[in-house]
Structure 1
Amino acid sequence: MYCLQWLLPVLLIPKPINPLLLYNHAVFMVLYLAGFFLERQPCTICSLAFLVALFLLCYSGLGWCVFWESECDTVRCGDSL
């Protein structure tokens, strides 16, 4: 589980507020993760734990996905008119 100490902080990096920087942020994240997986070759358990955490964040609908903008980033989620 040593390799998770380099993967979990990736989930905590905040997305930029400026919408023009979202593409640069997503490219940085993809390149960082690709480089990490190629260089460090984390164990299967760490890789699966990270991918499950990333999946849960991106598809939770709360707007915390590090790769793309969700509807919750532009409108308040949970509000019903």
Structure 2
Amino acid sequence: MKLAKLKEFRQAAYKYLGKARDATFELTDAVLLTRNAYSLADFSLSPVFRRRWSSIYEALQDSRPQRQNLMQLYIQQIPIALC
């Protein structure tokens, strides 16, 4: 994926995260980059999660992502198979 396309995708996804979008976005990055996590607090050790560990719980509680819009965005990223 080209860097510009990745940036565009991340910006689009960010706007659909609802409340607590900053913490939710960082938590998403931490989930994707953390190899082993035995609790939610383990994600706070990721270098991309720059908040206190309690922000993880607040993000999960407060975030109200626009699921339909996010799903459409994800589907748009699926490459069209060449026949």
TM-score past 0.5 threshold:
no
Q: How high is the TM-score relative to the length of structure 2?
A: 0.26
Q: How high is the TM-score relative to the length of structure 1?
A: 0.27
